């Protein structure tokens, strides 16, 4: 089963509550929140206050991608705000193993994200502490980018690693996801697809159709 996690990066920022409600009605499985700090990535977006603000508008899991460094001082704020999944980058702190353990201890699912330039080998000492692995198929920081086919072998490699270890880990892909690249990602082994531009184009009346096209 493929899960669809629309990215609020491409939503109408003047009415996040209404957008989240519309996405849930349209069949979104999760809601993806891209947190950027202008330091770890070259853009500034949302913080924990947005997560808290949209929490009452949906029962769907809030899939929060932390593109911030340092990440550790902000973990508890996102937990308190109502996040369900916190995904961090191994480069965003000195001790990612401890950070992942901390997220789980607080009752959330812990995710680890791999940038296009981050090798799969970074996962090996951390696999036992993650519930989700996010493979970035663009360089993080901006929406609307083109899917990097060069990352398909990485998705396949992560899939094989999870299966070899027999672990219950979701494999998520984010960046340039369209109907065409969704198919490639699924075939490479992805469970969860994050998409912004492809879902939000043409307004709320098209969200259900656009989500279904990715399935």
Annotated binding site: 7, 32, 34, 65, 141-144, 174-176
Work out the burial of residue 112: count CB atoms within 10 Å of its CB; fewer than 13 is exposed, 13-18 middle, 19 or more buried.
Answer: buried
Spatial separation of the C-alpha atoms in residues 119 and 132, rounded to whole Å: 16
Clarify whether 34 is annotated catalytic.
yes
Burial class from Cβ neighbours inside 10 Å (0-12, 13-18, 19+) for residue 14 reads: exposed
How does strand 109-114 pair with strand 132-136?
Answer: parallel
Beta bridge pairs of residue 42 = none
- Burial degree of 201 (CB within 10 A; 0-12, 13-18, 19+): exposed
Catalytic residue flag (residue 149): no
- Active-site residue, selected from the candidate residues 84, 149, 174, 202: 174
Catalytic residue, chosen from 34, 37, 63, 131, is 34
- Where in the sequence numbering do the catalytic residues fall? 34, 174
């Amino acid at each position: 089963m493929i899960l669809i996690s629309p990215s609020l990066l491409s939503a109408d920022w003047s009415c996040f509550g209404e957008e989240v409600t519309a996405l849930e009605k349209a069949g979104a499985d999760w809601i993806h929140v891209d947190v950027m700090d202008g330091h770890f990535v070259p853009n500034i977006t949302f913080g924990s206050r947005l997560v808290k603000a949209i929490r009452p508008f949906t029962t769907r899991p809030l899939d929060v991608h932390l593109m911030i460094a340092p990440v550790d001082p902000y973990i508890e704020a996102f937990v308190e705000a109502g996040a369900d999944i916190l995904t961090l980058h191994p480069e965003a702190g000195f001790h990612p193993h401890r950070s992942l353990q901390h997220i789980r201890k607080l009752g959330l699912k812990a995710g680890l994200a791999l940038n296009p330039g981050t090798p799969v080998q970074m996962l090996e000492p951390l696999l036992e502490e993650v519930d989700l692995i996010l493979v970035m198929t663009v360089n993080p920081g901006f929406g609307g980018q083109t899917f990097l086919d060069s990352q398909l072998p990485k998705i396949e490699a992560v899939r094989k690693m999870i299966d070899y270890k027999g672990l219950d880990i979701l494999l998520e892909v984010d960046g340039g996801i369209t109907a065409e690249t969704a198919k490639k990602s699924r075939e490479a082994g992805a469970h969860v697809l994050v998409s912004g531009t492809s879902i939000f184009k043409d307004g709320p009346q098209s969200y259900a159709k656009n989500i279904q096209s990715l399935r």
